Amino acid sequence: MPVSEAAPYPVPDAAAYLTGEWTVERVLSDLAADRRGSFRGTAVFREADDGRLTHTEDGELCWEGAASAAGRTLVLLPAGDGTCEVLFSDGRFFHDLDLRTGHWAVSHPCAADSYEGTFDVVSRDEWRVCWRTTGPAKDHSQRSVYRRRLAPGR
């Protein structure tokens, strides 16, 4: 999964941009234990009746030679200015999201660990997320590439 040095692609409305279906390729690293894994699957951003977006990922996690089904669900609350709040599925705040410049950096404290994330929009059909988690319990990194699933003939 090569890292692009492309200029950021500004997105005036994060919810409108994300709505739809995406493929996901993710590389996971436990840096302390020098272990690597991957996730491949789909991400669907679907608008609910209340205006929220539900972000659901489903796919296969491969870790140390074993493959298993994996997934997660997040909720995005769109704001009138094109930004969103991202919540865990249980309603707890995760982070804010502002893609208006095509790049966004966030922090999320989790107990004694710290999650530092960057979001980069590469084009109308691709965006990337990198997470670095450090603290007494974790020394991890995740790099994800999302590519829009295009309709036939597009």
Does 7 fall in a domain? no
Three-state DSSP state, 5: coil
Q: What is the pLDDT of residue 47?
A: 96
Q: Tell me whether residue 9 is in a domain.
A: no
pLDDT > 90 fraction of the chain, expressed in percent and rounded: 86
What global pTM score does this model have? 0.92
Asked if residue 134 belongs to a domain, the reply is yes
- The structural domain count of the chain equals 1
Residue 153 lies in a domain: no
pLDDT digits (tens, 9 = 90+) for 90-132: 999 999 999 999 999 999 998 889 999 999 999 999 999 999 9
**Which pLDDT value is given to residue 153?**
61
**Neighbour-count burial for 60-98, b at 16+ CB within 10 Å, e otherwise:** ebbeeeeeeebeeebbbbbeeebbbebbeeeeeebbebb
**Structure confidence at residue 136 (pLDDT):** 93
> Between 116 and 150, whose confidence is greater?
116
Q: Is residue 1 part of a domain?
A: no
Question: What is the residue range of 29's domain?
Answer: 14-148
**What are the pLDDT digits (tens) for 73-86?**
999 999 999 999 99
Question: Looking at the predicted structure, is the pLDDT value of residue 36 above 50?
Answer: yes
CATH number, domain containing residue 50: 2.40.128.20
Tally of CB atoms within 10 A around 121: 24
| Phi (first) and psi of residue 15, to 5 degrees | -65, -45
Residue 72 covered by a domain: yes
**Residues 6+ positions from 146 with CB-CB distance below 8 Å:** 22, 23, 24, 43, 126, 127, 128, 129
| DSSP string for residues in 68-121 | EEEEEEEEEEE-TTS-EEEEETTS-EEEEE--TTSEEEEEEEETTEEEEEEEEE
* Residue 24 forms part of a structural domain: yes
Sign of CA dihedral 115, 109, 88, 124: negative
55 domain-assigned: yes
Is the pLDDT at 151 greater than 90? The verdict is no
User: How far is Cα 133 from Cα 111, in angstroms, rounded to an integer?
Assistant: 12
Residue 154: pLDDT above 60?
A: no
β pairing state of 20-30 and 66-78: unpaired
